[in-house]
Amino acid sequence: MTENDPTAHDPATPRPSADAQPGQEAAQGGWAGSPYGEQSATASGSSYGDQGGSPYGDQGVSSPASGTPHYAPPAEPSYHAVTGADPSYGAPNANPWSAPGAQTPPHGQTQQSVYPPPNPYAQPGTSIYNAPAAPPAQKRSGGKLLAGVALVALLVGGIAGGAVGYLTGGTSGPASNALDAPKPAQQTGNAPAGSVESVAQKLSPSVVELQVSGQQGAGEGSGFVISTDGYILTNNHVVEVASGGGQIQAVFQDGRKAAAKVVGRDPTTDIAVVKVDGVGNLTPVEIGRSDDLRVGQSVVAIGSPFELAGTVTSGIVSSLHRPVRAGGSTGDQTTVMDAVQTDAAINPGNSGGPLANMSGQVIGINSAIYSPQSAQQGQGQGASEGGNVGIGFAIPIDQARRTADTIIKTGQAVQTYIGAQVKDAPQGGAELGAITPGSPADKAGLKSGDIVTKIDDRNIDSSDTLVAAIRTRAPDEKATFTLQGGRTVEVTLGGQPVTPN
């Protein structure tokens, strides 16, 4: 896709030629276009491979024979957007960046109940609330009967031994029973500052469950209140299924429900804003900053995994500036986020919920998870229901804040771009392809074939890293591009409206 094309790409639609005019997709000679911003195609044999559109090189799959994970170039790790709002994410042959979660099948098909949620440790159809099955009846035999007699004898022997000890050792006083002890004093006062408990108390009233339905399915995700008059920030993939005239219902912590409508959404950054009316006394979150996060600092995630509203989990920041691709078809970059990686438990339904620091300030929007289950199974319902393995991704709040502010003020998101196709360079870095005439890249003097290795002080090791680094910045910012060979070029980043499908 060309960066100038704000139109989402339909994988079933042929791509126009590379010399297409701005606003058209262009892909030829190994360049796979994306409908937004920088385009990317993965060069065959590159560190990212060209199967499944994964932003990572070696992918984890399981050996059919042993179930032991192994890493091989042909496979790819699968990343799931953690909601079930858009069934296209979990459809067969869909991009492994799919939206796992509760979905309503098309009309005429059987819908499975979402309660109770599936038990990942039981046989199919077993509820997590069921009592353990009774052990199979044992056949009577002389050997087992003798063993039972021996066991009884041992117990009797132990009792007898204990009686002898009591008689010879003297009495030690009356027995003590914990059940007879009085209850401890009830907890009073506020939660300790900086604790998970205090973060949960502060944020939970602002977190909502979003129940979404549309012509192509239904699902649920999370969001959080950002204004007293009803604006809610969430993921694009949570509400996308309702964008064509569907319905969205927000469920608040106190049980209140209200209809919501989409104000605007941006598939390129996976951000959306919805608004509820007629609900008062809303409590907005406190928005923090993500440009000073540190690996290892504690964080808390809140959301509605598997429709369990108000679920609180905790962990740490595992990594920063992780280029993560979600929601696009193989070879394009419909969504490429400069993600905050965390090991806080995030599951289907957490999408759109807040990731907060220990002061209760929101520093990210939970958006995607890595799911090896999907990598093993490849497609189908099992693939769409992958759960937490300790690798989750959140959109940095600095980027989300800028996008949400633009959506609220104008009703439309603005995408940062340079106007060039891009793919992985064989020796590392991002190789530029076709340059759109008059674009920021063209005005800066960048040429097709240039290989970008750094933007300012950030190393660029792939096309996804370049796209993520550009999209996390604001239009009109200046950035210094370092090219292979050491030459530097100053680029003034551009901005263009995003028109989602």
Residue 371: predicted pLDDT: 78
E-strand stretches of 217-256: 217-225, 231-234, 247-251
CA nearest neighbour of 460 among 432, 441, 494, 420: 432
CA nearest neighbour of 493 among 467, 475, 481: 475
Residue 478: predicted pLDDT: 96
Residue 164: predicted pLDDT: 43
What's the CA gap between 80 and 356, in Å, rounded?
Answer: 21
User: Over its length of 501 residues, how does the chain's per-residue pLDDT go in tens digits?
Assistant: 444 443 434 444 444 443 433 333 333 333 433 433 444 443 333 333 333 333 333 333 333 344 444 434 434 444 555 554 443 333 333 333 434 343 444 444 444 444 444 444 444 444 333 444 444 444 444 443 333 333 333 333 343 444 444 444 555 678 999 999 999 998 888 889 999 999 999 999 999 999 999 888 889 999 999 999 999 999 999 999 998 789 999 999 999 999 999 999 998 899 999 999 889 889 999 999 999 999 999 999 999 999 999 999 999 999 999 998 875 444 444 688 899 999 999 999 999 999 999 999 999 999 999 877 544 444 433 344 567 889 999 999 999 999 999 999 998 999 999 999 999 999 999 999 999 999 999 999 999 999 999 999 999 999 999 999 999 999 999 999 999 999 999 999 999 998 886
pTM across the whole model: 0.66
CA nearest neighbour of 222 among 214, 232, 231, 213: 232
Residues with catalytic roles: 237, 270, 351
